[in-house]
Amino acid sequence: MKTHLVTGGAGFIGSHLCDKLLADGHAVIAIDDFSLGTYENLIEAIEHEHFKFLEGDVANSSFWHQLAKDCPTNSIDVIWHMAANSDISAGVKDSTVDLHRTFLTTFHTLEAAKALGVKHFALASTSAVYGDLQSVLSEDSAPLNPISNYGAMKLASEAAATAKTSTDLDKLWIFRFPNVVGPRSTHGVIHDFVRKLNSTPRRLEVLGDGTQCKPYLHVIELLDAMMHTVRNSNEKINRFLIGPLGDKGTTVRYIADLVIRLYGTNAEIVYGNGNRGWVGDVPTFTYSTDKIYSLGWKPKLTSNQTIDKAVGEIVAELKSPVVALR
């Protein structure tokens, strides 16, 4: 049994990570400020004897000073930094959202790792660091010109973390996530569509022309990949792309059609113009997952199969019962 600290532990991916770590026999300390996370996401974890939850803002150094006082040095084995603003379009409108919630959370969590004597650090990063780069993306693709503040502050987070490997950290894992879907998500295209249908069940307005095509990965597969990587990679800096099976993404049209079908409505789909949903949206990208494959991890689902599973889950989670009765 090891002790894992998870920032953003009540959030979408963070809460699933807590459940997984507890199921694998570890102790977990989760931190969240409930800006996006919810208590409901922790309903299973909170019952566990080796789970501890702290409410706090990890971008606030005084939060960490208090924790360092209460927590013996070297008592935490790994920090998983999952806290971030996951609403990319909100961050495009107001840069300070991603400054504080995506970058400064990382900066202060890295400082905390030093204060707490934690030598292993896992960082959630993103394909958004590549911006509009038009090639099959791999770990070493360049140049990195993010076009959203979210992508920029994730790249900034990667940079702050790699610098710490020359002073404080023995091992760093950087995971560049694609679009991750599944239960407990707080944003994303499926989420948006279901919420829109809750308001207007006969009409679904889509941002852009629906040809946007991206790889989607299920959160359960993501966790499996991260666990495998932490167990099996041995560099000082371990950077991995994680993606679904195959090299095909899923179009927004595919998702819109499926959401309508599983929602049980015959809503008219109204498409917008152009292939960019919003400023900072990257319309198409393709991932190379050769590096993680060569480490012995392979996903089970293609991007379309992932969407098939996640749309069912998210419709079940979010579909308004009031609408259902109309």
Q: Token pair of 196, please?
A: 């829109």
Q: Is 162 in the site for a copy of itself (CB under 8 A)?
A: yes
Chain residues 79-108 in contact with a copy of itself, contact rule CB under 8 A:
92, 95, 99, 103, 107
Rounded (10°) angle between helices 189-199 and 303-318:
40
Q: Please select the residue that binds a copy of itself; options are 159, 270, 316, 324, rule is CB under 8 A.
A: 159
Contact 96, 144 (CB under 8 A): no
CA-nearest of 255, 270, 128, 243 to 189 is 255
Contact 209, 246 (CB under 8 A): no
Q: Looking at 39, 130, 150, 216, which residue is catalytic?
A: 150
Chain residues 229-258 in contact with a copy of itself, contact rule CB under 8 A:
237, 239
Using CA atoms of 228, 230, 234, 240 in order, give the dihedral in degrees to the nearest 10: 80
Shortest reach from residue 307's CB to a copy of itself, in Å: 27
State the pairing for strand pair 250-251/213-214: antiparallel
Q: Is 287 in the site for a copy of itself (CB under 8 A)?
A: no
Shortest reach from residue 148's CB to a copy of itself, in Å: 6
Is residue 150 among the annotated active site residues?
A: yes
Q: Is 141 in the site for a copy of itself (CB under 8 A)?
A: yes
Q: Please select the residue that binds a copy of itself; options are 71, 152, 223, 311, rule is CB under 8 A.
A: 152
Burial (CB < 10 A; 0-12, 13-18, 19+), residue 94, is exposed
Q: Is 284 in the site for a copy of itself (CB under 8 A)?
A: no
Q: Please select the residue that binds a copy of itself; options are 9, 11, 37, 131, rule is CB under 8 A.
A: 131
Chain residues 45-84 in contact with a copy of itself, contact rule CB under 8 A:
none
* Stretch in the footprint of a copy of itself (CB under 8 A) among 158-166, 184-192, 205-213, 314-322: 158-166
Report how far apart, in Å, the C-alpha atoms of 297 and of each of 150, 154, 183, 232 are. Answer: 28, 24, 23, 10
Active site residues: 150
